[in-house]
Structure 1
């Protein structure tokens, strides 16, 4: 464990709010990822569907007996709020589930995990957290056409079409989460993609252009 790296992330200051963000950073634990050969990445704290008050799925959840081979990054096209609290992260998770279940008619939240603008991570589709912790099994999602039985979908709260960039806390936690997912499932950092790589979509906005930086920082986190 690189304690210097933990200090750098744990003491990050969120620019917009000017608040020390223990939200999503200092609540990342120093526990090593189970099953990882080098146990180098931080294990982030992820709030389960039970913790944020998710509705039950509208049907059965399919868990494939395989590991995902890639990560696909999204944004949720929600308001770019300056409320970086855990409560906001939970409210946003409930909103995403409402849109996917009630408007789209899907079984559950389409994404596996959602990263708030304050850096709080919530489990999206039920059973995504337990399979990640096991390092085996892929919950079939509903986030990217043609990739839902192959990829982990990570969504970021906010709308990044118009040149807006993610807050520092959100970015730093995205790096930590991607590194943990890569370590748990044996996914190389170069297999982190954006939604635009697989379809005609504006998602994930400016995050698509930031993918080279994301891959580089995830690789550093794993090394």
Structure 2
């Protein structure tokens, strides 16, 4: 499916207050979320998506003092891609010193209300990524805003998808078993079949550890190293995200 691009004139964007800085090429894309509450009603009402994009532009220009909306593109649940700053223009959303490295693509999900990215949003993000690769000299990297910058953005659900390799919805792949419901951490030593299941999966991934059902110092060390490899907070605790990544993150 070709990109469903909503041009600036179509969402009544304000004109930028100055000239953009030229961006010849990037290493790839940084994925973002709004960081606030997103009304779940946008899933069934595209007019709310348009209003939200205009609100974000207003906040960036009037609140942050930027010349325009900070994102290269914004994506919504209806698989539409709103033109922000557009191709070959330096974004403002990645953080000081980081904007020249990646284009910035926002998915309209937040930390409350609509938290889980819909298939339409994920498809639209990937449509935008392919577009900047084809027309904006973007490299292959797909990273979260939190990669290299101290922020919760793009939120745990969207970031976990990024760390799984940003697959197209509907693509088959390994799926993690349900999270056991308790955090696996040390000290003290925690024992159980949930520990054994996680250890066995980590062993399958190539990590050296005993599959003994006891989460002790050795398991914690493997967890720490795995979390660092995946760009997660390295707390040595197997929580829902670390558990899911053990099965769903690409190997290698």
Give the alignment's TM-score, normalised by structure 1: 0.66
Superposed, 1:71-220 pairs within 5 Å as 71-77=29-35, 78-84=37-43, 85-125=45-85, 128=86, 131=87, 138-145=88-95, 146-160=97-111, 164-185=115-136, 187-189=138-140, 191-206=141-156, 207-217=158-168
Larger RCO (CA within 8 A; separation ≥ 6): 1
Aligned Cα root-mean-square deviation (Å): 2.4
How big is each residue's C-alpha offset from its partner over 1:141-173, in whole Å with a ceiling of 9 and x where there is no partner? 101122212211001112147993111211222
Q: What is the CA–CA distance in structure 2 between the aligned matches of 1:182 and 1:142, rounded to whole Å?
A: 19
| 1:70 paired to 2:28 | yes
Of the three residues 52, 56, 73, the one matched with 2:11 is 52
Question: Shift of residue 183 of structure 1?
Answer: 3.4
Residue 58 of structure 1 deviates from its aligned partner by 1.6
Deviation at 1:70, TM superposition (A): 1.3
Structure 1 residue 194: deviation in Å? 0.2
TM-score (norm 2): 0.59
Q: Name the CA shift for 1:51/1:161 in 2 (closer, same or farther; >3 Å).
A: same
Secondary structure of the residue aligned to 1:54 is: coil
Partner residue in 1 for 2:2: 43
Distance 1:59 1:88, change over 3 A: same
* Residue 103 to residue 201, structure 1, CA distance change in 2 (3 Å): same
Structure 1, unmatched stretches of 5+, are 1-41, 132-137
Larger Rg: 2
The aligned counterpart of 2:250 is none
How far, CA to CA, are the matches of 1:187 and 1:97 in structure 2? Answer: 24
Does the CA-based 8 Å contact 1:43-1:180 persist in structure 2?
no
Q: For 2:4 and 2:114, locate their aligned partners in 1 and report how far apart those are by CA, in whole Å.
A: 29
Partner of 2:20: 61
In 2: Cα distance, 1:89 partner to 1:74 partner: 16
Structure-1 separation of matches of 2:114 and 2:16: 35
Alpha-carbon distance in 2 for matches of 1:101, 1:91:
15
